[in-house]
Amino acid sequence: MLLFIFFLKPCITLLSFNSLNDNRIVGGTVVEPYSIKYQASLLYRDSLFCGGTLVHPQWVVSAAHCWRPNQLMKVVLGEHNIKEKEGYEQIFDVLLIIKHYQFNYWNLDNDIMLLKLDRPAVINEVVSPVILPRTGTLQNFARCTVSGWGVTSVYGQSLSPELMSVDVDYFADCWYYYYFRITNNMICAGSTDGGRDSCQGDSGGPLVCNGRLEGIVSWGIGCAYAFYPGVYTNVRNYVSWIDWVIQNS
């Protein structure tokens, strides 16, 4: 399946879906095991394909473009090394998936979905929900952290077995990098010099700034390019929707 995007830039006329960081950590390090307690891994036919974030004991948020039939999906919390069974994992079936009703597959606007787990997670020293951004504002160049099991080099093919994270900067002028491709429901984060970004394998995962979930890994051009920061779903625009879904589903 291809996603065709047209830009008002020379040499970039159309891109395949894969080139837009379909699963999407470059420039990062392995995290202290179980230190990112809200991190979830999404499995499709028992293979990791996207990340997610625990926002409630029974609900995980991810990117809508990560949707798969819920009967074929599982969610894992308390995970560090995806190649080993370490004893802290909590594995869930998915009862229900709710994509945002205005999700646009072609431009990835409203790229957010909620997954209801088959039972509440056990909240403990390695599993805990993230805080949503209900107050305050996000300042330009705020330091944020993105995490996942994605590939660790621009041209890499293999996922990282261990959970990794990288610090990135929030860019308030996201439109400058992508012209009309950006909507008000998207934010950008990366490095002005490149070298730090989410990449293939990280889609749907968390961008956390000042301890709050500000973004969901959505798309980008390549990985860690200097003038193409990663693009994230702007979680602030969806806090009321998240609350409503959890209360009414």
For the chain, 249 residues long, the average pLDDT of each consecutive 10-residue run is 32 33 60 97 95 99 98 98 95 99 96 99 99 88 88 64 91 83 92 60 89 94 67 97 97
Percent residues over pLDDT 90 in the chain? 62
Pair 230, 24: CB distance under 8 Å: yes
Separation between Cα atoms, residue 63 and residue 219, nearest integer Å: 10
pLDDT for 227 equals 64
Q: How far is CA 29 from CA 6, 25, 42, 160, in A?
A: 34, 8, 21, 10
pLDDT for 138 equals 85
pLDDT for 196 equals 57
Q: Where in the chain is the domain with CATH 2.40.10.10?
A: 18-30+130-236, 39-129+238-248
- The tokens for 155 are 């041209």
pLDDT for 179 equals 78
Please state which CATH class domain 39-129+238-248 belongs to. mainly beta
pLDDT for 191 equals 76
pLDDT for 23 equals 43
Catalytic residues: 65, 111, 203
18-30+130-236 CATH fold: Thrombin, subunit H (2.40.10)
pLDDT for 190 equals 84
pLDDT for 142 equals 86
